[in-house]
Structure 1
Amino acid sequence: MRRNWAARLREITIEGMRALVLENERLRVTVLADKGGDVVEFLHKPSDTDLVWLSPQGLRRPLPPQAADDVGAFVDHYEGGWQEVFPNGGAPSVYRGARLAQHGEVAGLPWSVEVLTDTAREVAVRLAVRTRRLPYRVEKTFRLASGTAALEVEGRVTNEAPVALHAMWGHHLAFGRPFLRPGARIRVPEGVRVIPHATSIDPRGRRAEELFTVPPPGSPSEIVYLTGFDTGWYEVASQVGLRVEWDAEVMPYLWLWQELGASTDWPWWGAAYVVGLEPFSSMPTDGLSAAVDNGTAMLLGPAQSRTSRLRVEVIA
């Protein structure tokens, strides 16, 4: 029976693409099954605040994978939102003869959908996809319980080859207006270090301040890497609060990316005001080959799986 109360689940179509809406009394979360399993809405209903950043260009159906061998193909179809990034993080890369696109492969692929739970107490759906250039299977399960303001995401990646393979795995969480405002504060655990963007790890990484402040529009673009998490979490304090928790053993790095309007050429044209806070297995944002070279890439043996958990909660 279809419900319009408590936890509920709907299937809709957006720009010709299959999407799922997980909803309860406090949250509405929209997931694009036909485009990477992207989260394109994370609406806190009591404050009417959507935490997801949406690109000014809007949502476009992605190109076929064979056409997506560069940065432009990803950016042309980047609607903002929150992406699963696997098995390549950041710039295009060549790994063992396979050309991997920007943040490729799974962010541009359609995922299958299986409804696991659909009750007034909880809804849960499992999305799954196989990569096309490397032999991986990726799954992620979204759960939303009645009465909570927290989305639970359980991920699993499996190497289906008889040989060991590397990968980068991350959550490309990008925050924008109306949630993100100048002066919003970012809090991370004590003892976390900041590593500047470089092609290799700097072991002398600076200590992170406990509180960061989101700069005003027009501030310079930046990307840095945070590491040293005993427990994976961060909080953002704006007009509503946000807490993100993840498995720091699986994803020991947090990429902090900001584009605040200073870039007036392609692709942002001065129109972006966005901060990404992205748990990742590896660094830097130079692609899988660079992560293999610096020793941060994940290694999965034949038929081996790795799992991770992510929890995103609004703190009103």
Structure 2
Amino acid sequence: MTSLSVTTLVLPAADPGPENPLPPLVKPAPVQQVANLAELPADLAEGLSYGRLDTVLPYRLQDGYTRSRTETELPALVLENDRLRATVLPSLGGRLYSLWHKASGRELLYRNPVFQPANLALRDAWFAGGVEWNLGSTGHTAQTCAPMFAGRVEGPGGTPVLRLWEWERTRDLPYQLDFSLPEGSDFLLVGVRVRNPHAHAVPVYWWSNIAVTREPETRVLAPAAEAWHYGYGGRLDRVAVPGELTYPARAEAAADYFFELTGDTPRWIAAVDGRGDGLLQASTRRLRGRKLFVWGESAGGRRWQEWLAPGAPGYLEIQAGLARTQLEHLRLDAGESWDWLEAYGPVSADPAVVHGPDWAAATGSVQSAVPVLDEPHREWLKVADLPPESLLHQGSGWGALEVHRTMAVLPGTPFPAAAMGPEQEQWRALLDGRPPSGSPSEVPPPTLVGAAWADLLEHAPENWLTWYHRGVARWAAGDHGGARSAWHASLAAAENPWALRNLAVASADRRAAAELSERALRLVPDLLPLAVEAITAQLDADLPERAAALLEAWQGELSGRLLFLTARTRLALGDTAGARAIFEAGFEVPNIREGETSLSDTWAAVATTPLPARYDFRMAPP
């Protein structure tokens, strides 16, 4: 008998900390940048050029976490039958945290023993392990460390279905995931639906990111003879699949392999250990792409794995997505929705065959276990619109605000008005013609940047906050000149640090940016994210004396990113020994960015000895 229960998961967990109140006007440079577009097939090159986001607005960054962990209870939902037990974390993007196969006594996923955010997602905070559901734009979703609604739906024959749903805000798309475990089934079924309720097309990106334990003899298999390889050196190249690349533990450096599944090829990917046992993921045809990601065995790759899961064994990621590669976006037309069914379960193959030199035989030994999903997909669609019988977890209020504005009808995914809270209050008032209001010394509410909200702001009564929000919305729409004008008008209405800071980010003049950011910091001297930006701006403008003065004036703890900036400041002032002393004393930057080489670059400037392993986060070999 299948059951659905509400419980908690106790883990050593880092406090996510507060959201960064400064709007993310500029997205960090993507880790994956393809320079050889002209060499690629036309459809692939077009997909790589279409739909990219310049910012994650209206979201704020989640960069307030630390590396300190304490035992913490996390909300969890457990769906199980006599064969499998699936644990889902609704407060963390609906992450499928664990999939335990009872018959074999095996954990099928990589089950991270800690919750430790690190800077890999579109909003910064991301954590390794389980299955992550990525909607939005290339990268780890803005929802990955955010709550989702969860409810119970009665499935076929009364079997419970666990439904999760939310409103993805960079694309303004509602989506749902329906988890089901038929009685006696060895496969967890996950129905996914993404809707476009708008009168215009929207670029869409989806990848299910599956972490599995990496052992020395783990092999990854997919029904493909070729793959597109990205080695974090700027090129996307077609390579043959059979061989060493299918054994992740043999990889020297971080790499992506996008398997070329063509025509009527079944949609699946698997990872098996030396005994031939492992995880199989399959789907209906819409989910075309399959990918292998490895951190590699370089010092940087090993450091990243230890950073993400301290004290745990290594892992790899197998992934499934809508497009051929993870670097593309597809067009979802106005009023349309896409749906598909995924299956997750155990696979056991003859180790002599699955690890043998005959690639067709190896993949065939797994493909015989791939479930047929067309009929289960049709059965799921019969309940996809049913309303949840009960609410098991509360999501955000943003979907409710959009439904309130548009009167959208979204069967199966209710966004109750009661979910709206203080963050949505001023925007509800704007719908009634009342302008945003607040003190210039207080953090403004997050700015909504969609076209409808931007239009409302342009016609709202003017005050410093209206002009501030207009600037953010204009910037998100690509009107950078109009954004600067709006922030200047905000300052004319009332001196405020928020418009000053945005003007600093928007300025191409490094000296002007340094002066503006310092002015902003003087108005809110205890705001850590602004202090980091202001000190960095002084160094970028070749003003190390000003950076040193701001560090001296800082009243909070000098650790993490600020301690690293202290080392950079000493180096810029000519105190190489002082900069090196900070490295030798030891420090950690909790939000070191994936692909960031600032630590290794600074070490190279202060020392002639090899880079200590604790500071080596390089994705590519030096």
**Larger fraction in strand:** 1
2:293 corresponds to: 257
What CA deviation, in whole Å up to 9, does each residue of 1:236-289 have, x standing for no partner?
A: 3324243211134x332212101255324457449661111101123655xxxx
Map residues 129-148 of structure 1 onto 2, 5 A cutoff: 129-148=166-185
1:169 aligns with 2:169: no
2:281 corresponds to: 244
8 Å CA contact retained: 1:190, 1:210: no
| Offset at residue 315 of structure 1 (A) | 2.9
Q: Work out the CA distance in 2 between the residues paired with 1:104 and 1:201.
A: 24
| Offset at residue 30 of structure 1 (A) | 0.1
2:268 corresponds to: 233
8 Å CA contact retained: 2:133, 2:141: no
2:242 corresponds to: 209
| Offset at residue 120 of structure 1 (A) | 9.1
8 Å CA contact retained: 1:260, 1:273: no
Give 2:115's match in structure 1, choosing from 59, 62, 83.
Answer: 59
What runs of 5+ residues in structure 2 fail to find an aligned partner? 10-71, 349-622
What runs of 5+ residues in structure 1 fail to find an aligned partner? 1-5, 91-102, 286-290
- 217-226 vs 238-247, which deviates more? 217-226
8 Å CA contact retained: 2:224, 2:260: no
Q: Work out the CA distance in 2 between the residues paired with 1:118 and 1:300.
A: 28
What CA deviation, in whole Å up to 9, does each residue of 1:162-193 have, x standing for no partner?
A: 221102101001101xxx422133222154x2
Map residues 1-316 of structure 1 onto 2, 5 A cutoff: 6-14=1-9, 15-55=72-112, 58-59=114-115, 73-75=124-126, 78-90=127-139, 103-117=140-154, 122-176=159-213, 180-191=214-225, 193-197=226-230, 205-209=238-242, 213-216=246-249, 219-229=252-262, 230-238=265-273, 239=275, 240-248=277-285, 250-260=286-296, 262=298, 263-266=301-304, 268-269=306-307, 273-282=314-323, 285=326, 291=327, 296-316=328-348
TM-score of the superposed pair, with normalisation by structure 1:
0.76
TM-score of the superposed pair, with normalisation by structure 2:
0.40
After superposition, the Cα gap between the structure-2 partners of 1:79 and 1:243, relative to the gap in structure 1 and judged at 3 Å, is closer
8 Å CA contact retained: 1:8, 1:118: no
After superposition, the Cα gap between the structure-2 partners of 1:20 and 1:165, relative to the gap in structure 1 and judged at 3 Å, is same
| Offset at residue 71 of structure 1 (A) | 5.8
- 80-89 vs 258-267, which deviates more? 258-267
What CA deviation, in whole Å up to 9, does each residue of 1:32-63 have, x standing for no partner?
A: 1111110001111222211221346x126x79
Using the aligned pairs only, state the percent identity.
20
Larger of the two Rg values belongs to structure: 2
8 Å CA contact retained: 2:290, 2:320: yes
Q: Work out the CA distance in 2 between the residues paired with 1:28 and 1:128.
A: 21
3-state SS of 1:74 partner:
strand
- 41-50 vs 204-213, which deviates more? 204-213
8 Å CA contact retained: 1:112, 1:129: yes
8 Å CA contact retained: 1:8, 1:120: no
**Larger fraction in helix:** 2
Calculate the aligned-residue CA RMSD, in Å. 3.2
The AA in structure 1 aligned to 2:179 is F
Q: Work out the CA distance in 1 between the residues paired with 2:91 and 2:317.
A: 23
8 Å CA contact retained: 1:38, 1:81: yes
